[in-house]
Structure 1
Amino acid sequence: MATGAQRGTPSVLELPGASEELRTRLADGLAAVNALIEERVDHDDPFIAEAGAHLTAAGGKRFRPLLTLLASELGSGASTQVVAAAAGVELTHLASLYHDDVMDEADVRRGAPSANALYGNSTAILVGDLLFGTASDIVADLGPEAVKIQAQTFVRLCSGQIRDDRPTPPGVDPVEHHLGVLADKTGVLIATAARYGAMFGGCDAATVEVMREYGERLGMAFQLADDLIDIGSEADETGKTPGTDLREGKRTLPVLHVLASTDPADARLQALLTGDLSSDERLSEALTLLRAHPAMERAREHTEAVARQAQDVLASLPESDARSALHALATGVVHRVG
């Protein structure tokens, strides 16, 4: 896999595997998705309309709807149903961000004040619920199978968030537990994005299953890379504060590897990671030690292995521009810097 890092989540519009014709179709499809999202988020009550559109207006990479559109290219391409499915997935993702910010007590999201900071926790939660409802309303027009998938996705997404907010159960391997949480809280929605694209692009059942599996592995690689970025990147590279996960006590893959170490030389770092990192000085020391620790390379190798697994799933598909772009997307996801 390529080693050159790039800023931001890669857009399929920028990947070397996408032809100019494919890029144009994807751009047109994304414009239709954005228009549908704006239409459905709008509300007669100006305050509800403003709060509901807050994260939409703040931008975002539209990674999930782009994946839906790209997966549809394995079949007949974007249609009204594909666009609706992509919008439903993105609204589900946006709704989860409103809830995430309340749980994390976040002040900023996408460089703008978070919804909970602007409107309070209760309103942020209710707006998130409203967006979940809007997503479900859109998906309901796609038929009972799509509704079932949406419901199952929502259950896994929520269960992953609940488990992520709690310690590893006794007798359970922390790394395996962590990977299971990532599959639920991040992998499943990206899997559904890819699955919907193949479904409503008219692909056969085997291709739909390939895209579901590809999407779940891609989602896990995406989140594992995010966890590395939180530790390894500087604020001016990402626009985010490094060590946010550490400060919140989240035990990501590199942290779990350090905590499992029996090397006495790791005692100081282990003490920092299990202690209070609210002070900038202690957080800075923890970041410095963790960045230099072999656990980072071990976690990076695991992340790249998961991305390669996603790429391997594509081998059963016939060669096409879309398959090449999907292959490149997995590489780009793990080598971004923000």
Structure 2
Amino acid sequence: MVDAATGVELTHLASLYHDDVMDEATLRRGVASANAVYDNSTAILVGDLLFGRASEIIAGLGAEAVRIQAQTFVRLCAGQIQDDRQAPGDTEPMAYYLQVLADKTGVLIATAARYGAMFSGCTDEQVETLREYGELIGIVFQLSDDILDVTSEADDSGKTPGTDLREGVATLPVLYARADDSPANARLRELLAEPLTDDTLHAEALELLRAHPAIEQARAHTLRLADQAADLARRLPAGDARDALEALPLSVAQRSA
């Protein structure tokens, strides 16, 4: 189980190195990012090294674990690629957005939960329940993160409020705001149609979006998914572990409250 956990965490860390390069981030968890301290090439190579080391560790757990690791890696990359692109014209934007979150974040938490169940002797049914649970936890985490991008104030974590707005990323609050075709919302819809690189327009859009019902709609959506995850946890045998798993989704969702 320790090897499985180590493999997942090294994969997670590697993805963060690559994310920081793609986002041109200068901070990670309050300290200078690797790409800022060294350079992009070094950060990418260290990320690759960590992916390789994770795969080496997982290889010792058997063919099934290796297959899961490979599938996880594919979905992580696919989700990140799709995250940088708008939903195709023939795709429903909300469904596209949630699938991106499942791929770029949910799948890694799903694999962590799946490995934990596999290597602690759970039944096949329990393994699948925990895989589904983990994927929902990942989606809920990302949804709350996207809400915080709108509602939070600047801090020392490296996250600047409204980053997604500036980049034209259609997160859940933006999708709900765009769906509001009332005359009173015309100005916000106009602002949300394009990336907001102008500081004045960005500040205006952020203020309007913070006051819009879309924020509460996004929070309610996040809580619904958290409830689904808690329901999955209730299928597991009673005990302290189940109690913790049942409480976790709401705790993650309420980060955005």
TM-score by length of 2: 0.95
| Partner Cα separation in structure 2 for residue 273 and residue 281 of structure 1 | 14
Identity of aligned residues (%): 65
Question: Shift of residue 236 of structure 1?
Answer: 4.3
Whichever residue aligns with residue 154 of structure 1, its letter is F
Select between 232-241 and 298-307 the one with higher mean Cα deviation.
Answer: 232-241
Change in 2 beyond 3 A, CA 1:236/1:98? closer
Unmatched runs of 5 consecutive residues or more in structure 2: none
Among candidates 242, 246, 249, match of residue 327 of structure 1: 246
Q: How does 1:180-199 map to 2 (within 5 A)?
A: 180-199=99-118
Task: Say if 2:147 and 2:256, in contact at 8 Å, map to a contact too.
Answer: no
Structure-2 residue corresponding to 1:132:
51
1:64 equivalent in structure 2: none
Distance 1:239 1:137 in 2: 32
- Alignment partner, residue 188 of structure 2: 269
Match of 1:160 in 2: 79
Asked if 1:247 is matched to 2:166, the reply is yes
Report what 1:173 is aligned to.
Answer: 92
Contact 2:167–2:195 (Cα < 8 Å) also in 1: no
Deviation for aligned residue 1:106: 1.3
Q: Which residue identity is paired with 2:9?
A: E
**AA in 2 matched with 1:223:** Q
Q: What's the CA shift for 1:246?
A: 1.4
2:211 & 2:85 partners in 1: Cα distance?
28
User: What is the deviation of 1:337?
Assistant: 5.0
Aligned residue-pair number:
257
1:293 and 2:219 aligned: no
The alignment yields a C-alpha RMSD, in angstroms, of: 1.6
**Is 2:2 aligned against 1:83?**
yes
Q: Which residue of 2 aligns with 1:225?
A: 144
Matched to 1:167, the amino acid is Q
Q: How far is 1:275 from its partner? A: 3.4
1:1-338 to structure 2, matched below 5 A, reads 82-236=1-155, 240-337=159-256
Matched-pair contact (CA < 8 Å) for 2:144–2:253? yes
Query: Cα offset for 1:140?
Result: 0.7
Contact 2:29 2:157 in 1 (8 A): no
* Contact 1:237–1:337 under 8 Å retained in 2: no
How far residue 240 of structure 1 moved from its aligned partner, in angstroms, is: 2.9
CA distance in structure 2 between the aligned counterparts of 1:101 and 1:137, rounded to whole angstroms: 24
Whether contact under 8 Å (2:28, 2:157) holds in the other structure is: no
Deviations 1:231-268 (A, max 9, x none): 11122496632111211221101101212222222221
The alignment partner of 2:205 has SS state of helix
Give how far 1:100 is off: 0.8
Per-residue Cα deviation, 1:137-179 (whole angstroms, up to 9, x for no partner): 1111111111000000111111111111111111111001101
